[in-house]
Amino acid sequence: MEPRLLVVAGALLFFVLGAAHLRMTVADMKDPKRFAPAKPELLDELKQTRMNFRKDLKDFWATYIGFHFSHSLGLMFYGLAVSYCALFKPDIFADMAVRLAVVIFGGAYVLLSHKFWFSIPLIGSVAGVTLIAVGMAMQY
């Protein structure tokens, strides 16, 4: 397979993970199930309290949903930006610092998935960053 297509395939895995996360986040705004606590009574508590960080924060549930939106958009942006560069601006990856940044960013999701999340984002992140790294190694 052409090296830049490996990079695109890996980046699109991150995009798909972000898009799936966004879909679940939007659904939870109307009918909290996916990211809601397993104990339903805790959802009411989350909606009635806020983080202690600042007094002008929204309730904890709204803050939590906002985090999920930003997380989703970040993954989607990463996937699109890396794909775009691989397809239309491949010379940008000639810079070792850029290649390292792209791989380290993807690798951070591997570590986060392993430490805090579950198997689907872990497997997707490992596969995505591996395809990106292999494609870049083959290209440069």
User: Each residue's pLDDT tens digit in the chain (140 positions)?
Assistant: 799 999 999 999 999 999 999 999 999 999 999 999 999 899 999 898 887 877 777 888 999 999 999 999 999 999 999 999 999 999 999 999 999 999 999 999 999 999 998 899 999 999 999 999 999 999 87
In angstroms, rounded to a whole number, what is the distance separating the alpha carbons of residues 45 and 113? 27
> What confidence score (pLDDT) does residue 1 get?
78
Domain chopping of the chain, boundaries: 3-139
pTM of the model: 0.90
> What confidence score (pLDDT) does residue 92 get?
94
- The Cβ of residue 87 has, within 10 Å, a number of other Cβ atoms equal to 13
Tokens of 47: 């909606």
Residue 31, CA atoms < 13 Å, CB-side half-sphere: 2
In angstroms, rounded to a whole number, what is the distance separating the alpha carbons of residues 135 and 57? 43
> What confidence score (pLDDT) does residue 140 get?
76
